[in-house]
Structure formats: C-alpha cells, structure tokens
Amino acid sequence: MSIVLCRIDDRLIHGQVVIGWGRAMAIDLIILVDDQVATSDWEQELYRMAVAPEIEVRFVTLADAALHMAEWQSNGKRGLMLTGDVETMATLRTSNPGVVQRINLGGIHHRPGRRERLPFLYLTDQELRSLQLLEAGGAIITAQDLPTTPPVALKSLA
C-alpha cells in the first residue's frame, strides 16, 4: 500500500478527516506533519482521541517526514499524510514529488489576508501562487471537503 491521500487541513485531525476520508479510503495510518504538534505530548493526545484505536497515528516534524516518506510508501499501510498549511505540503512535494503527487485542499479557514475561494477554503494570493507553481511542476491539486463531493480544480479557484 502507500500514502493514498495528501491533505491540507488547518484543523488537522478531526471528524471530517477520520470519518469522512479515513473510512471512505480505508486508512490505517495517519501521518500528521507539524513541527509544533510533533513536540507536544498533550496536543498529540488530543488528536489521538479523535482516531479509532485500529488506526496508527504518527506525529512528525517536517524534517522527519521528508526522511521517511519512501518508507511510508512501502510499509503495507494505507496512509493519509496531513499538513495544516500550504507551505509544509509544498516542502514535502519538493522533497519527494513521487509521493506527493496529488494534493487535496480541505479546510483552510479565514485569517487576515486570505479570501474565500470556496466555503471551506480561504487562500492568500501567495498561497494560491505556491499551489499553482506546484501544479505547474506536475502535482494534481483539487479542493474537496469530503470524498462524496465533487473535486474542484485549482484553476477554478483563481
């Protein structure tokens, strides 16, 4: 098996990720790539509470993720790699484009400088440009909050 979903969702692990995507894709490994969460036991415990015990959860730094992606591609598990921001996913794509081929834009919420692209997706112009560069480099990028809704192509978000 392999990493079957690379998702950007600023809420990180929550019901939509675990139930909506996890069950639909038969995920048995969630890899949360976040430098802060990777060093915070109490945050990890909070996120773990949202995940069924049969699903393995790994909390890793960006540097560790870049080192272990090839291993996760061949470990026999169906994995979901999750980041909370565009920049982290872009770095993962740069470090291993063979693994991060398709990027799912999930819940990226409002903050200063971002504007609504879809009801669940707010991006700054710089974030949109970064995603467009990734797509120009061969990544397939779509916005989709749940697997039951149709994906929206990146070019539709400009």
CATH, residue 33: 3.40.35.10
- Model pTM score: 0.95
pLDDT above 80: residue 134:
yes
pLDDT reported for residue 58: 97
Q: What is the mean pLDDT of residues 136-157?
A: 96
Q: Model confidence at 1, in pLDDT bands (50, 70, 90)?
A: low
| pLDDT-derived band at 55, boundaries 50, 70, 90 | very high
Q: Are 58 and 32 in contact (CB under 8 A)?
A: yes
Q: Is 8 left (phi over 0), alpha (psi -120 to 50) or beta?
A: beta
Domain of residue 97, residue span? 3-157
Number of domains in the chain: 1
- Chain-centroid distance, C-alpha 55: 17
Task: State mean pLDDT over 28-33.
Answer: 97
Average predicted confidence (pLDDT) for the chain: 95
Q: Residue 89 above 60 pLDDT?
A: yes
pLDDT greater than 90 at residue 70: no
